[in-house]
């Protein structure tokens, strides 16, 4: 059973263009309700051991712990859905609430959306029209990585 916030090994072959390929760890970001309902695909963020310092929000560092043997960067800008058959082993690790909070904020920033007056992941009713606005604070990180 997969759970939100766990890191699993996934077979991302074949990679195309800038997509990360290989067998590599991925963070499961999908809502737990969809995971529990056996949805056929899962939203994940791939990890890499090719570390780049000071690259938030595009990359977030995950320290080696549990069965994750090396320090790794979450490739937040590579968020994608994969077929569940690509998830081959896990969990290697479960991120704690503090680190998951950083992931949520990074994903919202990479998407360029800010939810006005609500915390990310809150259990409030759906946002009313106009509650979102476009933000762009990621230029320095994009320039550093490219």
Residue 85 lies in a domain: yes
Residue 30 lies in a domain: yes
Local structure of 58: helix, strand or coil: coil
Neighbours of 15 (CB within 10 A): 12
Residue 92 lies in a domain: yes
1-36: pLDDT as tens digits? 899 999 999 999 987 777 787 999 999 999 999 999
Give me the CATH number covering residue 43. 2.30.30.110
59-92: pLDDT as tens digits? 999 999 999 999 999 999 999 999 999 999 999 9
* Residues forming a β-bridge with 82: 42
In this predicted model, which residue has the larger pLDDT, 140 or 17?
A: 17
In this predicted model, which residue has the larger pLDDT, 83 or 134?
A: 83
Q: Average pLDDT of the chain?
A: 84
Q: Which of 1, 4, 3 is nearest to 103 (CA)?
A: 4
pTM for the whole thing? 0.80
Total of domains in the chain: 1
């Amino acid at each position: 059973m997969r759970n939100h916030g766990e890191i699993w090994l996934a077979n991302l072959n074949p990679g195309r263009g800038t997509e990360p390929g290989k067998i590599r760890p991925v963070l499961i970001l999908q809502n737990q309700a969809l995971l529990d309902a056996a949805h056929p695909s899962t939203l994940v963020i791939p990890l890499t051991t090719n570390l780049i310092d000071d690259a938030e929000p595009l990359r977030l560092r995950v320290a080696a712990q549990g069965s994750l043997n090396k320090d790794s960067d979450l490739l937040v800008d590579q968020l994608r859905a994969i077929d569940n058959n690509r998830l081959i082993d896990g969990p290697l690790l479960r991120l704690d609430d503090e680190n998951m909070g950083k992931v949520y904020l990074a994903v919202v920033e990479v998407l360029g959306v800010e939810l006005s007056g609500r915390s990310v992941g809150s259990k409030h009713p759906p946002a009313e029209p106009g509650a979102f606005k476009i933000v762009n604070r990621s230029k320095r990180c994009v320039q550093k990585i490219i």
